[in-house]
Amino acid sequence: MMIKKIALLLLIASALGSCVSRKKIVYMQNISTVLPSEKISYEPSIKPDDLLVINVFSPTPEAVMRFNLLTTQTSQSSNVTSGATAMQDPVFYSYLVDINGNIHFPIIGDIKLGGLTKTQALEKLNTELKEYITDPIATIRITNFKVSVLGEVNSPGEITVVTERITLPEVLSKAGDLTIYGKRDNVLIIREANGQKTFNYVDLTKADFINSPFYYLTQNDIVIVEPNKTKVNSAVIGPNTSVVISAISILITVVALLIR
């Protein structure tokens, strides 16, 4: 009888250990109740340490040549024979935004773009260019837009964003999604704005986060997925505890049946 009781208790413990609440796993559970929000702007603001590629266009191409600085990038095709001269591909110069939000632009000199959205920065730059060019049209691209993902995801690391627009679900998808041990209701996002770091938590199980300022990520955001209690406990008593309990319970049950 004692063996049977022990076997029953171990089976119950194993069952409880393997049960996970649906509310802790499923994303956006109340999506049908979320009301559409007002239009959310996801346009990134320019920050210190951003690398900007700026192109200037005009009906008079000769007039913009001095504003479009080029560097050269050496590349060699795989079918070029040994000893052949490497080809030089033109690459537009990247402007580093300094700690004060300034870049040093040809002819114009220092111009502050930090803290502005790309639309605002283009308006400011075009206004400055009108003193030198007729009907200027400038473009700006942030070339080092990246987001870091840490913690309980399948592929943690740094994610490069080419389009300058990415959402939190997209970033987590690129990181291989959360592991089964990741806390979906308490995802930390560290963001720097105006020289100050902010710390915010997002609950992925509730769909209303799609209307929050953290649905769209900005450059250099850090996303940290916290481990749940199961993973924390496994770090102390071993990750395979539930498997061991199940195996022992099955073994005791078999023994109990054999000596019955």
Does 46 map to a domain? Answer: no
DSSP string, 11-39: HHHHHHHH---GGGTSSSTTGGGPPPPSP
State whether 118 and 149 are in the same domain.
no
State whether 138 and 149 are in the same domain.
no
237: Cβ contacts below 8 Å, ≥ 6 apart: none
Residues paired with residue 2 on neighbouring β-strands, in sequence order: none
Look up the CATH number of the domain holding residue 201.
Answer: 3.10.560.10
State whether 259 and 207 are in the same domain.
yes
Look up the CATH number of the domain holding residue 133.
Answer: 3.30.1950.10
What is the span of the domain harbouring residue 223? 1-41+145-260
Task: Please state the domain count of the chain.
Answer: 2
Does 255 map to a domain? Answer: yes
State whether 248 and 170 are in the same domain.
yes
State whether 185 and 225 are in the same domain.
yes
State whether 85 and 214 are in the same domain.
no
> How far, CA to CA in Å, does 69 sit from each of 13, 53, 55, 138?
68, 10, 9, 13
Of 119, 142, 165, the position where a domain reaches its end is 142
Q: What is the predicted pLDDT for the residue at 242?
A: 57
State whether 239 and 153 are in the same domain.
yes
For the chain, residues with pLDDT lower than 70 are 1-23, 35-41, 72-90, 236-249, 251, 253-260
Does 129 map to a domain? Answer: yes
CB 148 within 8 A of CB 223: yes
Task: For helices 241-258 and 229-237, give the axis angle rounded to 10 degrees.
Answer: 70
**Rounded Cα–Cα distance for residues 15 and 218 (Å):** 42
How would you write the chain as a 3-class SS string? CHHHHHHHHHHHHHHHHHCCCHHHCCCCCCHHHCCCCCCCCCCCECCCCCEEEEEEECCCHHHHCCCCCEEEEEECCCCCCCCCCCEEEEEECEEECCCCCEEEECCCEEEECCCCEHHHHHHHHHHHHCCCCCCCEEEEEECCCEEEEEECECCCEEEECCCCCCEHHHHHHHCCCECCCECCCCEEEEEEECCEEEEEEECCCCHHHHHCCCCECCCCCEEEECECHHHHHHHHHCCCHHHHHHHHHHHHHHHHHHCC
* Lookup: tokens for 139: 């473009």
Of 117, 142, 167, the position where a domain reaches its end is 142
State whether 239 and 150 are in the same domain.
yes
Give residue-wise pLDDT tens across range 93-127: 999 999 999 999 999 999 999 999 999 999 999 99
State whether 154 and 245 are in the same domain.
yes
Does 79 map to a domain? Answer: yes
State whether 221 and 125 are in the same domain.
no
Of 142, 163, 190, the position where a domain reaches its end is 142
State whether 22 and 4 are in the same domain.
yes
Does 157 map to a domain? Answer: yes
State whether 134 and 187 are in the same domain.
no
Q: What is the DSSP letter of 135?
A: S
Q: What is the predicted pLDDT for the residue at 20?
A: 55
